Amino acid sequence: MSLAEDAPIGSARRRRVRASVLAAIGLAVAALVVVAVGLFAPGGGDVAPAAAGSSAPARRFEIIDVHVHTTPRAQPRLLELMRQRGIQSVVNLSGGTPLSGLDEQLAAAARAPGKVIVFTTLAYEEAAFEDYGSRMAELVRVAHARGARGLKIAKVLGLAMATRDGRRIPVDDPELDPVFAAAGELGMPVAIHTGDPEAFWLPVNDSNPRKEELEAHPAWSIYRRRVPSFEALLGELEVRIARHPKTTFISVHFGNAAEKPDYVAGLLRRYPNLYIDTAARIPELGRHDPSAMRAFFIEFQDRILYGSDLGVGPAPTPLFLGSQGRTAPTAAEVERFFDATRRYFETDDKNFDHPTPIQGNWKIAGIALPPDVLAKVYHHNAARLLALE
């Protein structure tokens, strides 16, 4: 999911600041609707019928999904889904802040020990204050003391978050240094979404790979908006990662650049503190040459984390499966979301449907990772990073 999943709302002034942030990029609205307000349309079924047409091997790996969005009220549903799918633990990236939502999220997670790991969210609305960097850093410290295990930063940073006098706050803004320093000191990985996907900058026409998704969500397009280029934002992110070698970064959605794995490989070679997750980017990865992608996963087998971008609200609202169409996903689409993901990692099948059809009208090919690499990507890397069993 996308922008400001969980920013709390304080004073009227804060509300105005936040409103302008949201207005600048419509994505935030969608994210808020899906997660905070929980307005999933009814009709999505979670229960998986037998997979059709998959040749995924029978062996099941324990999975830690480092990229999930959920709410306290949805937890029973989430736990049932995890049981069905062999998911040992999830990271909830919509944890909120000590000012709003975090305590409820932590209380829910505490009822399922080891199952739900909560990341706090950057307190975006603090941008309304002059000393926003130190305020946000202090809230990260408070969140850690209460039980948050990492920090999530949505792409509102870089695209829309602005100071009280209207200056865009870049990803590498020095005022924010204390936030990243605090996360490093406290051993909290920083899951950061910047810019991605590139297609949201492009005109919405037949040559746009995300045409269908952008037609369903016109507000997600930033074509001709007054924002930096995709490359400029990635540049800011790199400066940020380079500046904090003692802070672990999880650059979400395949390093925020699933379109260009060679670029992501360069970053991973340069910055040992950088990890990436796979959330909602199997469609994009599946377009690349499978032998090159296999080589990528083998080279960086200790730095890639399984993530899905699954959104789980209270039943009967539909699941968010890495994206969302105009209508609720069918049971078959829910099944394909999980099945096609495994099929990509575990088989060398060719020409099959990817997990999120709205994210591109093409077929993908699997990369048949060796079992020891699969175990690391599905489980061991995240277990090590999050100090789980």
Chain residues binding Zn ion by CB under 5 A are 1, 309
Minimum distance, C-beta of residue 358 to Zn ion, in the bound complex (Å): 15
Question: Which helix H or strand E contains 311, and what residues bound it?
Answer: strand 310-312
User: Of 90 and 108, which has the nearer Cβ to Zn ion?
Assistant: 90
User: Of 212 and 309, which has the nearer Cβ to Zn ion?
Assistant: 309
Quickly list H helices, 160-287: 177-186, 211-216, 230-243, 252-255, 261-270, 282-285
Amino acid at 340: A
Contact predicate 337/329, CB 8 Å: yes
User: Of 26 and 290, which has the nearer Cβ to Zn ion?
Assistant: 26
User: Of 2 and 347, which has the nearer Cβ to Zn ion?
Assistant: 2
Minimum distance, C-beta of residue 279 to Zn ion, in the bound complex (Å): 6
User: Of 28 and 137, which has the nearer Cβ to Zn ion?
Assistant: 28
DSSP letter string, 252-287: HHHHTTTT-HHHHHHHHHH-TTEEEE-TT-HHHHTT
Minimum distance, C-beta of residue 93 to Zn ion, in the bound complex (Å): 6
In angstroms, the CA 280 to CA 126 distance is 29
Of 279, 385, 380, nearest to 61 by C-alpha is 380
User: Of 1 and 285, which has the nearer Cβ to Zn ion?
Assistant: 1
Residue in the shown chain whose Cβ atom is closest to Zn ion: 1
Minimum distance, C-beta of residue 65 to Zn ion, in the bound complex (Å): 11
Buried b (16+ CB within 10 A) or exposed e, 223-236: eeeebbebeebbbb
Cα separations in angstroms, 321 against 141, 249, 307, 317: 32, 24, 11, 12
Minimum distance, C-beta of residue 32 to Zn ion, in the bound complex (Å): 13
Minimum distance, C-beta of residue 1 to Zn ion, in the bound complex (Å): 4
